[in-house]
Amino acid sequence: MKKLQEKYNLFTAIALCFVVYVVLSWFMPTATLSSSGVTEGAAAPVGLFSLFYYPTYALGNFIQFGLIILALGAFYGVIAKTGVYGNLVTKYANKYKGKEKTFLIVITALLFIASSVLGVPFALLIIVPFIVAILTKLGFNKITTLASTFGSILLGNVGSTFGQSVAGTSSILLGLKLSEGLVPRLIFMVVIMVLFILFIATNTQTKVEKEIVEETPKKNKKGHEEKVTTEVSKKQDVLFLENEEVKNKKDSSLFILLLTTLIIAILAMFNWNEIFGISFFEDIYERIIAITIGDYPIFKNILSLTVPFGYWDSYELIALLLIAAIIIGWVYNLSIVDVIDGMKDGAKRLIKPAFYVTIANIVFALVMASTEAGNGNIAIYISSKLSTITEEFNFITPTLAGTLSSFFYNSYTQFFSYIGAVLSSGLESDLYVVMAFILQCTHSIMMMLLPTSLVLVTGLSMLDVKISDWLKYIGWLILQLIVIFLIILLIWILII
Mean pLDDT of the chain: 87
* pLDDT at 222 > cutoff 80: no
| Local confidence band at 107 (pLDDT 50, 70, 90 cut-offs) | very high
For residue 377, the cross-strand partners are 31
Residue 212's pLDDT is what?
47
H/E stretch holding 303 reads helix 298-303
Interval 441-451 mean pLDDT:
96
pLDDT at 211 over 50: no
Give the Cα-Cα-Cα angle 5, 410, 407 (nearest 5 degrees).
65
Percent of the chain scored above 90 by pLDDT? 56
Long-range pairs, 339-342, Cβ under 8 A, ≥24: 339/78, 339/81, 341/81, 342/74, 342/77, 342/78, 342/79, 342/80, 342/81
Residue 221 has pLDDT above 90, yes or no: no
Residue 47 burial (10 A CB sphere; 0-12, 13-18, 19+): exposed
Give pLDDT, residue 373. Answer: 74
Taking 70 as the threshold, does the pLDDT of residue 329 lie above it?
A: yes
**Least confidently predicted of 194-203, 304-313, 315-324, 458-467:** 304-313
Task: Find which of 42-56, 182-196, 426-440 is predicted with most confidence, using mean pLDDT.
Answer: 182-196
